[in-house]
Structure 1
Amino acid sequence: MYILVKPSGSKLWQFKYRMHGKERLLSVGQDSDVSPAQARKAKEVARAQVAEGIDPSEAKQEAKAIAFGALLRDVDAFEGQATTRIGLQLLALTAQRPGEIRHAKWEEFDFQEKIWSLPASKMKMRRDHNVPLPDQAIALLDELRMITGNGEYLFPSLRSWQRPMSENTLNAALRRMGYSGEEMTAHGFRASFSTLANESGLWNPDAIEAALAHVERNEVRKAYSRGLYWDERVKLADWWARFSCELKAA
């Protein structure tokens, strides 16, 4: 068991093991979310799985995929405000921060190019960030335009269209669906995307970090990475949308 330090500065617990003569890695979680005691317990469980011939990484990915698929089905079936449902669906599809979704404005969306352009002033890392939009996200935005398209915000407050929805709205919807704060939060959609995309093995980890708008400490690398991974990020967004649909149907 050791800690991997990513280019963004985030730290990840990882456990190295062997299956069928090949070295494998199990990502346990970020050190900010997983304590040393929890990491040791995860290692013990993984060792027991290996002893039984079960690949811990595959078992973990399958369990998370099943749980995430169930969550997505619950979101689709949400019977509250349509805008709240769409907000959660876009969180799941775009993997952006809840605050960025809540404060999104129609002027930021280019429907022809299928890009959501977030200005640096809105970003946690204070730099511009573009989000490629898969067809599924465009369909949700078209639905939402019929409801709030005449205003400034995609998700205005119910009390005043001059303000975005409350920061508690999305989490309250998850509580209403039966998910406790320990089970799921609005921010958790990002974590699910990061975990499942990384564990798929299909994508460059740096492209995933760029999709999440995580900061690069090296300014030269930061400028280079933003352009370098755009094409891969477009493909990643399309894959994630299709994969999410598959999980819901499973």
Structure 2
Amino acid sequence: MTTDYFENTLRITSTQLANLPMVNKGILLFDAAKLDVSQFNLPDSLSPFELSVINRRKSPQAKQEYLATRILLKQLVKIAKPQYANTPLYNMSTQFDEVSAKLQLHVNGEIINTCISHSHSFVGVALNLANTEFGFDIEKISLKRPFEKLAKHFYHADEITLITKPSNTQAQANTFFRIWTLKESLAKATSRPIAHLLSPNVFSELSLQDLTVSSNNITVENELFDISVVHKKSTEWRCFLIKNLTL
């Protein structure tokens, strides 16, 4: 049933990075606005390629998000794959692969598919170690965006009905952004352009692909974010909100 997609079943646990359990199906969340880039010796954390990328970023927020996601991915692989526990961060490198449309982490000759998302400095990262259909998305729930107008322009008629049915503006926004994170997550899981998934009914698409969904929302610095995860059945994913990012 469509209502199932609006149940907040995705588990989100707050923890320190040092206390993170050994999980292969974990999404790390972090408020990158807390990150002081100037306090990091970037060559210790980033590969030469990544240094060239972050140095081209102009806005402080873009630098924060880039550094946070790369450090989190590398720390996550150290936990998920103990053989890399002593590998320096600068010896790991992320690059986007145009063929697979995936961000890949290169570690000691191994290539690991990853997934990242960010919205207004709130970031999330995950490793796709099983190389199965998997994707997640984070989006800030904003009452200032003309979400009803956007839905009527882009979304399926059934999705528009769901959004406009409640009289409460917050409820309408929550529905709009839940559908949005589902579409984005599905696009990442199936390596399809998001433009191809805006007008189709996302609930029908998920059913056709035989994919499982879990979602939730979280408040960070008084801002509400929606998170959705799309993955193969029998695969359980959970989120860990990292309190501090220290090396």
- TM category (shorter chain) comes to under 0.3
Higher strand share: 2
Q: Greater relative contact order: 1 or 2 (C-alpha under 8 angstroms, separation 6 or more)?
A: 2
What is the TM-score normalised by the length of structure 2? 0.27
What is the TM-score normalised by the length of structure 1? 0.27
Higher helix share: 1
